[in-house]
Amino acid sequence: MQVLNWKDCEEMGIEQFPYKGKMRDVKGVTVRWLSQTGTDDSGQPEYGLRFFAVQPGGEIPIHNHFYVQTMYILNGKFECWRFDTETEAVAEKWVCGPGDAVYVPSMLPHGMRNLSETETATFLCCICNVYEEEGL
Give the model's confidence band at 129: pLDDT under 50 very low, under 70 low, under 90 confident, else very high.
confident
List % helix, strand, coil for the chain (3-state, nearest 5).
Answer: 5, 55, 40
Q: Are 114 and 59 in contact (CB under 8 A)?
A: yes
| Percent of the chain residues past pLDDT 90, beyond the cut | 80
Maximum Cα–Cα distance across the chain: 45
Give pLDDT, residue 38: 72
Give the model's confidence band at 11: pLDDT under 50 very low, under 70 low, under 90 confident, else very high.
very high
Is 127 exposed, middle or buried (CB count within 10 Å of its CB: 0-12, 13-18, 19+)?
buried
pLDDT in tens, 86-96: 999 999 999 99
Q: What are the boundaries of each domain within the chain? A: 9-109+119-134
Give the model's confidence band at 136: pLDDT under 50 very low, under 70 low, under 90 confident, else very high.
very low
Domain 9-109+119-134 has CATH 2.40.37.10: no
Give pLDDT, residue 36: 81
54 has a pLDDT exceeding 80: yes
Give the model's confidence band at 44: pLDDT under 50 very low, under 70 low, under 90 confident, else very high.
low
Average pLDDT of the chain to the nearest whole number: 91
**Which among 85, 66, 83, 69 has a CA at the least distance from the CA of 31?**
69
Give pLDDT, residue 134: 44
pLDDT in tens, 66-110: 889 999 999 999 999 999 999 999 999 999 999 999 999 999 999
> What's the pTM value of the predicted model, to 2 decimals?
0.89
